[in-house]
Amino acid sequence: MSETRAWDGEIRKLWPRENDRFREHLLRLDKESRRLRFGHGVSDAFIDDYAGRTDLTGCLIYGFFSKGHLRAAAELRKLGDTWGREAEAAFSVERTFQDQGLGTELMGRVIRSARNRGVQLLYMSCLAENRKMQRIASKHEAVLRYELGEVVGEIVPNSANYASLMVEALEDRMAFMFAVLDLQKRIASSAA
């Protein structure tokens, strides 16, 4: 299936109090999508623990939201206590939202955020059979290395500039607005 851009929703960063939405997204992944995301089969308990340990003040997660639900996520995680030379990226897209260009778009946003934080080397790893992830990484000029059944991609982001910083800042303002509107909808629907 070829990628098309037929999105019905928006892409934005998750805010620190949205861990539950990230967890719910990961729990909705089918068995194969979970295996490809984590490199092995994982249980609901594993996902609960993983999402519970995800500190949205210490990593960035971009998400694709459709009809109020997080359907795809791209994580940018610092390697160490502060943003430094290296970081790691990881992606998950629910089955019915795959092959729509979301992974490519999310990867671009993660790379820009990495460059804006001074990251000089961005890693992503996936199973050797995960051709979709490898194609997405290749579109962003990743150097792919095959290691013991896995593929490690390395991307060297450009240095931050005024344009990259401004685009992220403007997207953050819009994302905050969408998050507030979404929160209001969720509060109204739970009160009804």
pLDDT tens profile 96-130: 999 999 999 999 999 999 999 999 999 999 999 99
| 3-state helix/strand/coil string of 5-51 | CCCCCEEEECCCCCHHHHHHHHHHCCHHHHHHHHCCCCCHHHHHHHH
pTM (predicted TM-score): 0.84
Average pLDDT over residues 55-75: 91
Determine the 3-state secondary structure of 70 from DSSP.
Answer: strand
* Residue 17 pLDDT greater than 90, yes or no: no
* Residue 5 pLDDT greater than 70, yes or no: no
pLDDT at position 1 is: 40
The closest alpha carbon to 93, from 109, 76, 69, 73, belongs to 73
Most confident residue range from 3-12, 75-84, 168-177, 178-187: 75-84
pLDDT at position 162 is: 84
Spatial distance between the Cα atoms of 5 and 10, rounded to a whole number of angstroms: 12
pLDDT at position 56 is: 75
Tell me whether strands 59-66 and 121-127 are parallel, antiparallel or unpaired.
unpaired
- As given in the structure block, the two tokens for residue 131 are 């051709």
CA distances 2 to 9, 36, 151, Å, are 20, 19, 22
Average pLDDT over residues 160-188: 80
pLDDT at position 4 is: 44
